Amino acid sequence: MVSCKNQSENQVTPTVTEKQSAQIEKVVANTETVSNEASETTTLQTQKESFIKSLKSKTDLGSFFADNWTLMYHEDNRCDGSTDGQINNLSSSQIDQPIKLQVNNDGDGWACDKKEPKSFDLDFNLKSQVKNWDRFEIANYENQEEHIVIIVGAGESDYLKLHYDNSNLIVKLEYRSEDPG
């Protein structure tokens, strides 16, 4: 280590070697990485909480969605069977209005006689779908994938599965209603 004497104050000021400088830079880089990861987690957590607050209060949700997002719909009914549909390339503002999507019903419910499968147009309105939910809770399941958030509502049978991108915007919303029968 090299030192130099400060002539004006008669103090010795240490000089950092190249090796020490490299070590300091590494520590700073690691600290920044940990800080960025914590910030990303905090940002996603904040997004989730803000989304739920807006969903509960029935305010606009478009700011939480990416452009070109996907809606997946699934309903399981003991008499009618499974109804499924998907629509892609939605604009962020479309979540705040009814969305028409083509769905298919298999007619194979477990509590009633089998019916003929059919296809039809469904008007999906998220705010209408959740208006009777008794709660809005983020589920915390084991082995849950990163950037996926599940919000349970009417019991455990009705829930939303939100897929987030790296910008913390929703790129896929799955609406699922399972007949608990």
pLDDT digits (tens, 9 = 90+) for 17-42: 666 555 556 544 544 443 344 444 45
Q: Please check whether residue 174 lies inside any domain of the structure.
A: yes
Q: How high is the pLDDT of residue 40?
A: 47
Full domain range(s) for residue 110: 60-178
Decide: pTM greater than 0.95: no
- Give me the amino acid identity at 99: I
Q: Report how far residue 107's alpha carbon sits from residue 175's, in angstroms, rounded to the nearest whole number.
A: 20
- The verdict on residue 165 lying in a domain is yes
CA atoms within 13 A on the CB side of 87: 16
DSSP letter (8 states) at residue 100 = E
Q: Strand, coil or helix: what is 96?
A: helix
In a domain, 140, yes or no: yes
- Angstrom distance (rounded) from CA 83 to CA 119: 9
- Residue-level pLDDT at 22: 54
> For residue 165, how many other CB atoms are within 10 A of its CB?
12
Q: Is residue 98 in a domain? A: yes
Tell me, yes or no, whether 3 lies in a domain.
no
Q: What is d(CA 132, CA 54) in angstroms, rounded to the nearest whole number? A: 15
In this structure, is residue 124 part of a structural domain? yes
Q: Is residue 113 in some structural domain? A: yes
> Would you give the DSSP letter of residue 88?
E
d(CA 181, CA 176): 15
Residue 33: per-residue pLDDT: 41
The string of pLDDT tens digits covering residues 122-166 is: 999 999 999 888 889 888 876 667 789 999 987 778 999 999 999
Residue at 5 is within a domain = no
Q: What is the pLDDT of residue 177?
A: 93
With a pLDDT cut of 70, the percent of the chain lying above it is 74
- Total structural domains in the chain? 1
